[in-house]
Amino acid sequence: MPNPTAIVILGASGDLATNKLIPALSRLHARGMLCADCLVVGSGRTAFTDEEFRARFKITPQFGQRLLYHAGTAGLKQYLDARGPFRTIIFFMALPPAEYAQKAQELRREGFGAEARLIVEKPFGNDYDSARALNAELAACFSEKQIFRIDHYLAKEAVQNVLVFRFANSLFEPVWNSHYIESIQINAFETVGVADRGAYFDHAGILRDMVQNHLMQLLCLLTMEAPVSLSAEDIRAQKIAVLKALKIDQCLRGQYRGYRQEKNIRPESTTETYAELQCAINTMRWSGTPVFIRTGKSLNRKGTEIGVIFRPLPHILFNESGGLKQNRIIFKIQPSEGIILDLSSKVPGGEMRIAQTTMAFCYRDAFADEVPEAYQKLLQDAIAGDRTLFVGAEETEMAWKTLGPVLDAGEIITYEPGIAPPAQFCPDWINFEEYQSAC
């Protein structure tokens, strides 16, 4: 019986393969989610025997039997044909982005064609022009349907649940607009600095590393119109519509003190490690509702959250003094995934006293099964040919185009490590720490 699928990891001796890809494939194997004859082939510059390659990972002997190694791309087609034929061959480019185009050309010259699927990691380009050029180079070798651009945030269960929350609950759709929502706040903080990623990060910065991809995706899923279907093309069309209407009104960049002394950082670097943005979505649904984004490294806490703040009640009935807290919905993306609703409730007793209460949906309490890791879901979808959680060429280019005016622009403020700079653009920034214990 022919082997239907092969998964080839290009750059298989790197950290991504060791820490993410092989463990994810091992879990898929353990759960019976890989077809019986699926092969996993590592490929790289280093010469390994199959046994030496397997010994690099903590895997079961059963999964190890699937794991093979081939040095380089030369002769790879012949190597796979001798073990095939394969209906689908997935190439995961666990490589520096500068090598994507060259590697695609090598695969094409080897003779790979319609059976190939290419998975590429971020960053996909460095700005609008470079993203367009890379898209063109890949398109010269393989069709758009064969290219799977990863944004691992899209595979997080809490991110996917944003769509379910919005479009599977009729309770929220009537109020999901600027008439009822005062502002949207997206927060992505990290306590660590650049660590061992200095060489990459100093040429990227937090706007390229986080905002252009992960946080733009969160913004799109939260604000896009309902797609006609759940197909990749229909969802992507609605995200692109948001990006076309998105305008960045203000942007503040910052750098933590001591960043320039980190390993592989230029002494004169003006790369930002923190950014705050105020955005507007110029559509009928969202005109008048600002979107605020804050993200950075070496801050006071770790967490990614979205806050949806509803407009205040009129100064009547329970809110005559105007002191009633506005309703909020908090999407906790990581850690401790969940959704929290801030509500007003009556305090038990004779007097009419009102207290702020929360209703919390927490993944760890609601579902007994382990939440799948992002790469596990993405690899599973790539095997199935499902591009819903992957980013398209136009989508990538539009995100770069939107962010273009603020890339590397303006002065850099300095902030102390472990202390988040005060929010400058949002007068009522949510203290997301208040919700840590809710989930």
User: For residue 354, with 0-12 CB atoms within 10 Å meaning exposed, 13-18 middle and 19 or more buried, which class applies?
Assistant: middle
- Residue 203 is a catalytic residue: no
Please enumerate in sequence order all residues whose Cβ is within 8 A of that of 37, keeping only pairs 6 or more positions apart, or say none: 1, 2, 3, 4, 5
**Active-site pick, 29, 70, 152, 214:** 214
Per the rule left: phi > 0, alpha: psi between -120 and 50, beta: everything else, 322 is: left
Tally the residues of the chain. 439
List beta partners, residue 68.
Answer: 41
Q: What share of the chain is helix, strand, coil (3-state, %, to 5)?
A: 35, 25, 40
List beta partners, residue 92.
Answer: 9, 119
Of 135, 78, 84, nearest to 109 by C-alpha is 78
CA dist., res. 287 & res. 422, Å (int): 26
* Residue carrying the six token digits 């197909």: 231
Question: HSE on the CB side for 222, CA within 13 Å?
Answer: 27
Cα angle, residue 214 at apex, residues 363 and 310 outer, rounded to 5°: 65
| The one-letter amino acid at 282 | N
Catalytic residues: 214
